[in-house]
Amino acid sequence: MTLIRAGAVAIDHRICRPGWVQTAGRHVVGCGAGTPPAPVDVDLPDSVVVPGFVDMHVHGGGGASFTEGTAQEVARAAEFHLRHGTTTTLASLVTVAPAQLIAAVARLAETIHRGRPGTVAGIHLEGPWLSEARCGVHDRTQLRDPDPAEIDALLAVADGTLRMVTLAPELPGSHAAIRRFADAGVLVAVGHTDATFEQTTQAIGMGATVATHLFNGMPPLDHREPGPALALLQDRRVTVELIADGVHVHPAMLGAVIAAAGPDRVAMVTDAIAAAGCGDGLFRVGTVPIEVESGVARMSGTSTLAGSTATMDQLFRLVAGLGSDPDVALAAAVRMTAATPAATLGLGRVGILRVGFDANLVVLDHDLRVAAVMVNGEWRRDTDD
């Protein structure tokens, strides 16, 4: 057993100052506010302990890409984000040719079933069923309408590991695709879409429950043509992703969305690509060349954003700084980086520090930078700066 005391601990949606958490094996066996029930093993008076981050939209990091699908690439990307506090992630794939997509999903499914690495909880397909007008960095030559045969083939090779797909609901065949995925227990996200408000509302009614990186990859809000963003934001059945890296969404808009939807409907995501953690330079997303300058990834020769180089601890620090009450903002940041994405994905034992849940936690210093990470009850102290 390990008994940890800290200056602040985020326990079950509240900030306890001080607080304590006890782990045994891979589970939390006790937690509470105030004085621990026994002598502590780890004393962190100047630290904040929060649940391990849950990133439901990430393509890679540390120079590795999930789209490659190999066990080595998956492990490198997952390990990079683990050092930044992400103890649960989806492996997000970009648009590629049909045979390449099938092969990548099959390799990922095998890796996930083998539990290597255990931080990857499933697969997210961002494409290929996207709008050409709003495809961003996705390879437009490989965009296609949803096809029942391809969908059935992907579900078969995924073997239960496919957790979410992003599609544009205005495409021919999208309605049948939404129903097929919903029946298979796969979350449907609306994104990279040129859909109208009405088309998006219809998709939500059919079972779409997630907004892929709200505002990005969709028409802007307009008072006469509100478009998909408003439909997604105002429906309480929908979880909205936000990339809080200071580039994709203005901090004032972040605050407005959180105030409107509430932190139980907002999931912070990195949308990180392989270039995360690698500095500036030339990279690729799928087949598309990317240039990273001053930490911002864009499709080479254009102003089009190409995912991000962010990590979840970076997003946590930004959103924890919003609002006038530090503990309210801190609690909201915990929800949006852990509890809300976990609940959205149906992951029942991660995202919250609670008895019986997995012992996934992050120790943050007084500047909210990662000092240590525990995953499944084991400390990982080789964190990045």
**pLDDT in 10s for each residue of the chain, 385 residues:** 999 999 999 999 999 999 999 999 999 999 999 999 999 999 999 999 999 999 999 999 999 999 887 899 999 999 999 999 999 999 999 999 999 999 999 999 999 999 888 899 999 999 999 999 999 999 999 999 999 999 999 999 999 999 999 999 999 999 999 999 999 999 999 999 999 999 999 999 999 999 999 999 999 999 999 999 999 999 999 999 999 999 999 999 999 999 999 999 999 999 999 999 999 999 999 889 999 999 999 999 999 999 999 999 999 999 999 988 999 999 999 999 999 999 999 998 999 999 999 999 999 999 999 999 999 999 987 656 5
To the question of domain 53-318 being in CATH 3.20.20.140, the answer is yes
Cα distance between residue 159 and residue 137, in whole Å: 28
Helix (H) or strand (E) holding 265: none
Binding residues, as ranges, are 126, 137, 192, 213, 216-217, 224, 248, 305-307
Closest CA to 287 of 63, 95, 35: 95
From 1.20.1300.10, 3.50.50.60, 1.10.760.10, 2.30.40.10, which CATH number describes the 2-51+351-380 domain? Answer: 2.30.40.10
Residues of the chain with CATH 3.20.20.140: 53-318
Q: Where are the alpha helices (DSSP H) in 59-196?
A: 71-82, 98-113, 148-158, 174-183
pLDDT at res. 371:
97
What integer pLDDT is reported at residue 286 of this predicted model?
A: 86
- Where do the CATH 2.30.40.10 domains begin and end in the chain? 2-51+351-380
Longest alpha-carbon distance in the chain: 63
CA atoms of 109 and 123, how far apart (whole Å):
8
Q: Which residues are catalytic?
A: 271
Provide the annotated binding site for Zn(2+). Answer: 126, 192, 213
Q: Which residues are annotated as a binding site for substrate?
A: 137, 216-217, 224, 248, 305-307
Q: Residue 313's closest CA among 247, 271, 370?
A: 370
So what's the pLDDT on residue 258? Answer: 96
What pLDDT score does 352 carry? 97
Range 37-41, long-range pairs (CB < 8 A, 24+ positions): 38/3, 39/3, 40/3, 40/4, 40/5, 41/1, 41/2, 41/3, 41/4
